[in-house]
Amino acid sequence: MNPPGIPFPELPPRIGRLSAVAANLSWSWSRDARVLFRSIDPVLWHRSRHNPIAVLQQAGPARLAECADDPEFVRLYEAVCARADRDAEARDTWYARTAPEGGGAPVAYFCAEFGLHSSVPIYAGGLGVLAGDHCKAASDLGVPLVGVGLSYTKGYFDQVVGLDGWQQDASEPFSAAITPLEWVLNADGGRRLVTIEMSGRRVHVGAWRMRVGRVPLFLLDTNIDGNEAADRELSHALYAGDRTHRLRQEWLLGVGGVRVLRALGIAPAAWHANEGHAAFMMVERVRELCARGAPWDEAVVRVRSSTVFTTHTPVPAGHDVFAHGELLACAEPMADDPGFDAARVLALGRHPDGGGDEFHMTVAAIRLARRVNGVSRVHGAVTRRMWRSLWPDRPLDRIPIGHVTNGVHLPTWIANSVIDLVDRELDRGWADGPDDPDRLERVLAMDDAALWATHHRLKVYLLEFIREEARRQWRDARPAAGHLVGAGTLLSDNALTVGFARRFATYKRASLLLRDPDRLRRLLCDPRRPVQLIFSGKAHPADVQGKLLLQEVYTATRDPRFEGRIAFLEDYELHIAHRLVQGVDLWLNLPRVPLEACGTSGMKAALNGVPQLATEDGWWAEGYTGLNGWSIPAAAPDDPDPDASDAEQLFRLLEEQVVPAFFTRDARGVPVEWVRRMKHAIRTAAGRFTAARMVAEYVRDYYLPSIAGDPAGDDPPRMG
C-alpha cells in the first residue's frame, strides 16, 4: 500500500514496498537504500538530485518490471526492507538502554526550519540543517523525539546571480508530489486540525507529516480552505515578508504547534525550542495552565522545569524583537482568554537593559526555559556575557547557561567510498552509536594511497558536477563567456581546491583573500603549484551588505588575472553541499572571532578527510588539534585592523604550509603529510563532532532532567 497523499505509481508486487521505503527519509542515510534507488535509473537519480520518489514516478512500468525480475535488485531490496523492519520494531535502542527513566515519553523539538533533503527546501542554512541532523540522530539512537516546524510551499528563495554579480531572489513553489510529505487528516478526513487566534480572526491550521526514520516531523500549514489570503500566505516562504509577517509565522509555530500536538494526542514530557523563533511555544503552554486555573507564577515554574532552549546567535542584531503593539495586534483575540495576561506576557520579553516597549524573543525563551545552552564552548561563554544582565547578582562564570557543541549526522554527510575505507579498519557498525574517540584511533592506520585515490575520485566527481551545472546554465540562455568561466568550467583536478560555502554575511568574510589581488593571483596561478577557489552561498534577501560581498566575490570569478581559478556555484543547497564537503581538498572558514556560533560545515568536510583552515572560533576552537588542519591565530585585542591581520596570517599559512604540504609527493604521487592531516580530520570529526554525540549530550544533561521536571536549585532570570 502506498503512503497516503504521495502519488506513487503502481509497483510490481515483488518490490511493492519501495514506495514505503522512499516515503521515509531514513533511506537518505542508508548506504544500501541509496544504491538500490540509484540502480533503478542512474540518470534519473542524478537529474532528480537523488530523489527516490521522483525516480519511481518517472522510471516507467517496463523498467520497474525489469527490476522486479532482477535477482540482485530483489536481494538488495529485501535487505533494505528487512533493515527497515528491524529499525521499526527495535526495542533495544541506545536510548532504551541508557535512559530507562525517560519512560518513552516524547520530547517535542520546535524549530522554524528543517534541512533534511534537497527535495524539501524548507531550510535557509545552518540552523535548519542542524535541526535535520538532530532528528536523524535521534532516530538512530531511539530518542522519542517529535519535530514541529512550518511548511513553506515556496521554500527558501532560489538564487540567480546576474551578469553584474547581483543576487536575484526568485520564489517558485516546489512540488509536494515529489516529496515525502503526507497530509495529516482529521477524524472527518479533512485537513483542519486546530484553530488559533491571530490578528483579530481565527486561523485554521493543518499539518503535513514527514517521516525521519523513527522521528515524526509535523509541518504546520495554513494554506487551506477557509483561511483568508493573508493567512494562507503564512505557509508560502521561509523568512520572507515584513516584520509583522515574521511575527505571525512565529506565532503560528509556537501556538499552533502546541495545539496540533494536543489535537494528535501527543503529550511531550520535555520541550526543546531550537532558537528564539519558537518562544511562543512556551507562552502558549503557560496560557494553557492558567486557563485551567493555575496561578501565573506556578504556571511559569512548571513550563520552565520541562523546557530546553538552544540559542545559535552570538550577534545581538540577529535576535527577533517585536513592538508590544505588534504582538498585541497579532495575539488578538487571545487577549480575552482567561489564561492570557497581556501585561505579564509582555514582561516576559522585556530586555533588562532597555527596550521597554519591545518583546525580545530570546529574552522570553530564556525566562521560560530551565535549561539554556549555546552551541559550542566559545559560544556558551559569549552567550553568558550577552545575557548576564538577566542574572545581575551572579558572577559571569555562574550564569546558568551551558553549551552543547553541535555535531553533524555522520551517515548523511560522509561519502560511501570514505566510510567503506574506514570499515576496513573498524567494524561496519562503528558509526551507529555516540562518538568513541578511542575507537577512531585505528583510522590513522588507513592506507595512504587508498585514501588519496578515494579522495581524488570524489574531487573529480565534484568537478564533473560543476561542469554539468555550467552546461545547464548555458542551456538556460545564460551564454556569457565570463559567466561560464565563473561557474567553474576551467577548474582543474590537479590544483589544490579550496572550498568556501557559507551564508554570505559580512562577518564570515568570504572576500578576505581578495584584499590583496596581486598576492592572490600569484598563489592561484603558480604553474607548478596551482590553487583554485570554489565559493557558494546565499545572502539573506534583506542583507544588502551581504549581497555586495557576494557581488565582490562573483566579480573576481570573471577577472582574467585569476585565469578562471575562482568559481561561484549558484543556489547553494544540500545537494551542492554534499558535493563540496566531499570533493574539495581544503575547507576555509574565516569568521571574525567570536561571531561564529559553531560552523558545522567544517565538520562535514572533515568527516570526508578534508582538513580545515579557519579562525579559532565556534567548533574549531575546541576541534583543532594541530594535526587536522590549520588555525589562524587571533589578532591582538587592540589591533586597529583585525581583518588585515587575519588576511596576512591566511596568506602566510597558504604559502608557507598548506600549498607545500599538498604538492610534496612521494614516489607513488601521494602527499604523505597532507594525507596524515586527512586521517586526523576524520578521526577528530567522527570521534567528537557527530550529531549522535550531540543528541546523547542533550538526552543526558537536558532532556532527562526536563522529563523529571525538577526545578530544585533553579535560579530564574530577572523579570522585565
Tens digit of each residue's pLDDT (9 = 90 or more) over 378-420: 999 999 999 999 999 999 999 999 999 999 999 999 999 999 9
Q: Which structural domains are found in the chain, ordered by start?
A: 13-88 (no CATH), 104-157+168-406+698-708 (3.40.50.2000), 412-420+442-689 (3.40.50.2000)
Residue carrying the nine cell digits 570499515: 423
Angle, to 10 degrees, between the axis of helix 61-68 and the axis of helix 71-89? 80
* pTM of this structure: 0.96
Task: Give pLDDT tens digits for 540-598.
Answer: 888 899 999 999 999 999 999 999 999 999 999 999 999 999 999 999 999 999 999 99
309 alpha-carbon distance from chain centroid? 17
Neighbours of 160 (CB within 10 A): 15
In the predicted model, what is the mean pLDDT of the chain?
93
- Taking the C-alpha atoms of residue 670 and residue 672, their distance in angstroms, rounded to an integer, is 6
Q: Which amino acid is at 206?
A: G
pLDDT in tens, 53-104: 999 999 999 999 999 999 999 999 999 999 999 988 888 899 999 999 888 8
Q: Report how far apart, in Å, the C-alpha atoms of 330 and of each of 3, 41, 282, 335 are.
A: 37, 50, 16, 10
Using CA atoms, how far apart are residues 243 and 590, in angstroms rounded to an integer?
30
Q: Look up cell 532597555; give the residue.
A: 354
Specify the higher pLDDT residue, 2 or 483: 483
- Cβ atoms of 390 and 353 closer than 8 Å: no
Q: What's the pLDDT score for residue 6?
A: 82
Q: Which residue(s) pair with 212 in the sheet?
A: 215
Residue 702 to residue 109: CA distance in whole angstroms? 13
d(CA 177, CA 153): 12
Beta-carbon neighbour count of residue 153 at 10 Å? Answer: 17
| pLDDT confidence of residue 37 | 98
pLDDT of 669: 96
Write out pLDDT tens, residues 459-483.
999 999 999 988 887 777 666 677 7
Which one has a higher pLDDT value, 712 or 552? 552
Among 38-52, 198-212, 419-433, which stretch is predicted with the lowest mean pLDDT?
419-433
Residue range 644-667: mean pLDDT, rounded: 97
pLDDT at 250: 97
Secondary structure element (H or E) that encloses residue 501, with its range: strand 496-501
Percentage of residues in the chain having pLDDT higher than 70: 98
How would residue 438 be classed by pLDDT, with cut points 50, 70 and 90?
confident
- The pLDDT of residue 713 is 64
* The predicted structure's pLDDT at residue 160: 86
Q: Which residue has the higher pLDDT, 160 or 494?
A: 494
- pLDDT tens digits, one per residue of 266-306: 999 999 999 999 999 999 999 999 999 999 999 999 999 99
The yes-or-no verdict on residue 339 having pLDDT over 60 is: yes
Who's near 369: CB < 8 A, 6+ residues apart? 273, 282, 304, 307, 308, 309
pLDDT at 293: 94
Locus of grid cell 581544503:
586
Q: How far apart are CA 106 and CA 342, in angstroms?
A: 30
The rounded distance, in Å, linking the Cα atoms of 679 and 667 is 20
Find where cell 516546524 sits.
149
List of residues 6+ apart from 362 with CB closer than 8 A = 276, 279, 311, 313, 319, 320, 387
Please state, for a pLDDT cut of 90, what percent of the chain lies above it. 79
Residues belonging to the chain: 720
Task: Provide the grid cell at 633.
Answer: 591565530
User: For residue 712, what pLDDT is reported?
Assistant: 62
pLDDT band at 317 (very low <50, low <70, confident <90, very high): confident
Distance CA(383)–CA(315), nearest Å, equals 10
